[in-house]
Structure 1
Amino acid sequence: MPVIHEFDPPERFVVGTVGEPGQRTFFLQARSGTRMVSVALEKQQVAVLAERVDELLDQVLEDGPSGTIVPALAPHDLDDQAPLEQPIEEEFRAGTMTLSWDPSESRVVIEVFPITGEVVAGPEDDEEYEEPEPDEVLLVRITPGAARAFALRAGRVVEAGRPSCPFCGGPVDPEGHLCVRANGFRRREA
């Protein structure tokens, strides 16, 4: 039986970073009262999650009247710009994430599962396959407005890193980078 860190709804659910651009560690952080869970994840996972949350809400909005109010933009009163809460104690590192819409409660449901070191092989011909159960799960259920605010903040956090090279799209460190599209000339941050 896995440990389920459930927040329905959390008082705060945000993404943030620790460290300098180029060396940042990304965290999802959920809190209700004094209970707080921090899960480490990759920058790309943050970017994809934010994009998918917005796409899911756009789809719910497009599907028409369901009695649910889905804001087209993040409500200003839910815009959370505060840093991550301390102390940050990594519960686990995110592997697989699922995203769904619960129409009965008009909530966005996010499940985050840890990376496992197990190599999973598919079933052999007639063999029945049983997927291994994770040790822990972060389960968060948030309102559409909170989901839009989460996606907005996540996008800002991803963009707050190193600027991209206009030629190759790679990150530019303050001391520059060797741009493959500029025949190896060192580009400097503008």
Structure 2
Amino acid sequence: MSRQIHVFRSPERFLAGTIGQPGEREFFLQVVDGRRVLSVSCEKQQVAVLADRLGSLITEVARRFGAQAEPELTATTDLTLSTPVDAEFRVGTMGLAWDGEGAQVIVELLALTEEEVGEDIVLEDREDGPDALRVFLSLAAARDFAKHAELVVAAGRPPCPLCSNPLDPEGHICPRLNGYHRGAVG
């Protein structure tokens, strides 16, 4: 099967979301443009890293090029996953770039693969590379994605006040208490 590269230029929505209860959540990145909806599954840490790196990229673009994001989106913007959520692929490698000519942030998500992905495969869109999702965003859309993604990541289980590991509703075995079972903090 040949490689598929899904390209979205200025989509209506690009967001991170979850399905499931804290502690058992599945993380997704989803892009919506009209009736076209594409979702990819990923790890919680990947969402956190993507949000952090987008924030750094936006800061660097502002410093180097003076480009600024427009005002924040209004509260009417829908930040929930469109259902049904059917992942096209699982994210392995992520990349970010700044397109100075188009004044857009480019987010590239590559499918998880067992083979090493060389830079030439990605940059030249060669047929032997992994499937990819490429999203072009304005600075404001990138900033709004990053802020929402941080909220999604933080909405999980609360941390233990002693060890910072996530607390399950029934508590957890805290390493700071030498393995004694610690009840849920209320």
Code of the aligned partner of 1:29: Q
| From 158, 167, 172, the counterpart of 2:167 | 172
Following TM superposition, by how much is the alpha carbon of 1:156 offset from its aligned partner in structure 2, in angstroms?
Answer: 0.3
* Aligned counterpart, 1:100: 97
Following TM superposition, by how much is the alpha carbon of 1:130 offset from its aligned partner in structure 2, in angstroms?
Answer: 7.4
* Per-residue Cα deviation, 1:118-145 (whole angstroms, up to 9, x for no partner): 3x499xxxxxx97683241100000000
Point out 4+ residue stretches in structure 1 off by more than 6 angstroms. Answer: none
* Within-5 A mapping of 1:19-98: 19-65=20-66, 68-70=67-69, 75-77=72-74, 80=77, 82-98=79-95
Equivalent residue of 2:74, what SS?
helix
Q: Distance in 1 between matches of 2:7 and 2:117?
A: 30
| From 132, 139, 142, the counterpart of 1:147 | 142
* Aligned counterpart, 1:125: none
* Aligned counterpart, 2:108: 111
Code of the aligned partner of 1:70: A
Following TM superposition, by how much is the alpha carbon of 1:179 offset from its aligned partner in structure 2, in angstroms?
Answer: 0.4
Q: Distance in 2 between matches of 1:31 and 1:121?
A: 27
Code of the aligned partner of 2:185: E
In structure 2, stretches of 5+ residues that fail to align are none
Q: Distance in 2 between matches of 1:76 and 1:31?
A: 16
Code of the aligned partner of 1:57: I
**Quick check: 2:15–2:79 contact (8 Å CA) kept in 1?**
no
Equivalent residue of 1:95, what SS?
strand
**Quick check: 1:7–1:141 contact (8 Å CA) kept in 2?**
yes
Say what the alpha-carbon RMSD is for the aligned residues.
Answer: 2.3
Following TM superposition, by how much is the alpha carbon of 1:182 offset from its aligned partner in structure 2, in angstroms?
Answer: 1.7
Q: Distance in 2 between matches of 1:101 and 1:121?
A: 21
Following TM superposition, by how much is the alpha carbon of 1:46 offset from its aligned partner in structure 2, in angstroms?
Answer: 0.2
Q: TM-score, normalised by structure 1?
A: 0.86
| From 168, 180, 183, the counterpart of 1:185 | 180
Q: TM-score, normalised by structure 2?
A: 0.88
Q: Which moved more, 1:31-40 or 1:55-64?
A: 55-64
Q: Distance in 1 between matches of 2:167 and 2:103?
A: 42
**Quick check: 1:8–1:141 contact (8 Å CA) kept in 2?**
yes
Following TM superposition, by how much is the alpha carbon of 1:165 offset from its aligned partner in structure 2, in angstroms?
Answer: 1.2
Code of the aligned partner of 2:163: C
Following TM superposition, by how much is the alpha carbon of 1:183 offset from its aligned partner in structure 2, in angstroms?
Answer: 1.5
Q: Distance in 2 between matches of 1:80 and 1:27?
A: 18
